[in-house]
Amino acid sequence: MHKNVTLNKESVPAVDLTKCRTILSKYNQATPADLIPILQQVQDAYGYLPQNALEEITARTRIPLSKIYGVITFYSQFSLEPRGKHTIKVCTGTACHIKGAPDIKKKITEVLHIHEGETTQDYKFTYDPVACLGTCFLAPVMMIDDRYYGKLTVEKTETILKSY
């Protein structure tokens, strides 16, 4: 899935590259096919893909930075900015929409002060946009990390958010 990537270098601090270098040490003869596994491991290590880690990847693997950005842009699993500890997804599919998803979304914004695509200032939550979550019988439904919360009400939503 294509996504828009905006990178504000000033707001994203450089990270200690030790973990990145450890990962890259397993790929002495890296080929383009290794790029996705490398990016996945680096993201797992830092929670996102820091700019200076990408520069390290390009220097060590000789895979051009433009190609690396192309892959990051293509796959929604990759993030160029620090993400929250927990990921929230609220279904915006038709069944959920009809059963009140817009109110659930409003409640999330009211409680956490973020909109879709944003992360709370304390990096506790990232609120990702998503279409149908595939559990329409639970409408309206949201996910936090890999847990589903169905048949939501605004009151239930607030209680769930506050339990994290």
Residues 15-74 that bind ligand FES (CB under 6 A): none
Q: Does 152 bind ligand FES (CB under 6 A)?
A: no
Q: How near is the Cβ of 99 to ligand FES at its closest, in Å?
A: 8
| One of 57, 68, 108, 139 touching ligand FES (CB under 6 A) | 139
Q: Does 135 bind ligand FES (CB under 6 A)?
A: yes
Judge whether 32 and 38 are in contact, CB under 8 Å.
no
What strand order describes the sheet that includes 125-128? 118-119, 125-128, 86-90, 142-144, 147-149
Q: How near is the Cβ of 145 to ligand FES at its closest, in Å?
A: 17
Burial class (CB in 10 A: 0-12, 13-18, 19+), 73: middle
Binding residues for ligand FES, per CB under 6 A?
A: 91, 93-96, 132-136, 139, 141
